[in-house]
């Protein structure tokens, strides 16, 4: 049985000063997170504008991807860690996915962070993470050919949520997508012409210096709203 749990938290900030603070945390979070008990891998990231995939970044939406030794370590952090609680106070809303990894290929910052082997069933919601570091000399070619095709995800009714995130705008890109079940995800991955074309072009032009693909079972979600405004594009 897999004890490891991965969390993805999306923060939506409430003011210009909060946006600026969160923007600073993208590189600074390492100093606050590296000593957290049970945390084995972490990334603090920004997001794309619009629905999450625009060329220009959003300055009001940020993300954490955290990998934990156990559920208890994650629960303790989200319940009481001062850094998270400070971030929370600056938000209009925040949403957290709790995930267990089914399978993953590739590396992120030189390592393979996910323990594989989670079991899914016919009703399991599936979360897909794709991540890549784009080669500098390939940036223009990548963005002109396929950079905006991630928006095509939204034409699939069985997609429940998607967002583009990354450590560094334009260069280090990741996509999180939540699907109603495995069959829905498979129809997109293996039958959608736009997606198949991206894969073909990637193989042809070798855009990436590092890449990772991971598929997870969605274990649970937590959604919190701290204003009268409903959260946008919520996970559930």
Q: What is the pLDDT of residues 146-204, one digit of tens each?
A: 666 666 777 788 889 989 898 887 777 889 999 999 998 888 877 767 777 777 888 88
Under 8 Å between Cβ of 181 and 125 = yes
The pLDDT, as a whole number, for residue 147 is 61
8 A C-beta contact, residue 231 and residue 91:
no
The answer to whether position 147 is within a domain reads yes
Whole-angstrom Cα distance, residue 49 to residue 59?
Answer: 8
Cα distance between residue 106 and residue 202, in whole Å: 15
Non-local (6+) Cβ contacts of 152 within 8 A are: 192, 194, 195
Residues 82-105: pLDDT tens digits?
A: 999 999 999 999 999 999 999 999
Secondary structure E strands in 49-193: 57-68, 91-106, 126-134, 159-168, 172-179
The predicted model scores a pTM of 0.90
Domain contains 68: yes
In a domain? residue 231: no
Kind and range of the H or E run holding 200: helix 193-205
Q: Does pLDDT of 228 surpass 50?
A: no
- Residue pair 99/9 in contact (Cβ under 8 Å)? The answer is no
Is 235 within a domain? no
pLDDT (0 to 100) of residue 186? 87
Residue 30 and residue 41: Cα distance in Å, rounded?
Answer: 10
Q: Where are the alpha helices (DSSP H) in the chain?
A: 16-33, 71-80, 82-89, 139-145, 182-191, 193-205
In a domain, 125, yes or no: yes
Q: How many structural domains does the chain have?
A: 1
Range(s) of the domain holding residue 23? 5-225
CATH number of the domain bearing residue 184: 3.30.70.100
Is 205 domain-assigned? yes
Confidence at residue 51, expressed as pLDDT on a 0 to 100 scale: 65
Domain annotation covers residue 234: no
The CA distance from 142 to 144, in Å, is: 6
> Does residue 233 form part of some domain?
no
């Amino acid at each position: 049985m897999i004890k490891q749990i991965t969390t993805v938290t999306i923060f939506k900030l409430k003011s210009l000063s909060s946006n600026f603070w969160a923007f600073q945390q993208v590189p600074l979070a390492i100093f606050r997170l590296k000593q957290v008990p049970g945390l084995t891998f972490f990334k603090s990231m920004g997001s794309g504008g619009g629905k999450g995939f625009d060329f220009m970044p959003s300055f009001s939406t940020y993300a954490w991807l955290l990998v934990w030794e156990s559920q208890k370590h994650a629960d303790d952090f989200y319940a009481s860690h001062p850094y998270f609680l400070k971030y929370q106070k600056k938000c209009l809303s925040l949403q957290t996915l709790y995930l267990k990894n089914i399978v993953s290929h590739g590396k992120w910052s030189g390592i393979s962070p996910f323990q594989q082997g989670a079991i899914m069933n016919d009703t399991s919601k599936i979360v897909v993470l794709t991540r890549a570091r784009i080669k500098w000399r390939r940036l223009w070619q990548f963005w002109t050919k396929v950079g905006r095709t991630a928006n095509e995800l939204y034409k699939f009714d069985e997609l429940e949520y998607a967002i583009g995130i990354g450590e560094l705008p334009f260069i280090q890109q990741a996509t999180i997508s939540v699907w109603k079940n495995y069959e829905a995800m498979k129809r997109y991955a293996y039958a959608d012409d736009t997606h198949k074309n991206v894969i073909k072009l990637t193989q042809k032009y070798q855009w990436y210096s590092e890449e990772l693909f991971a598929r997870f079972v969605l274990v649970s979600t937590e959604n919190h709203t701290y204003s009268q405004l409903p959260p946008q594009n919520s996970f559930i």
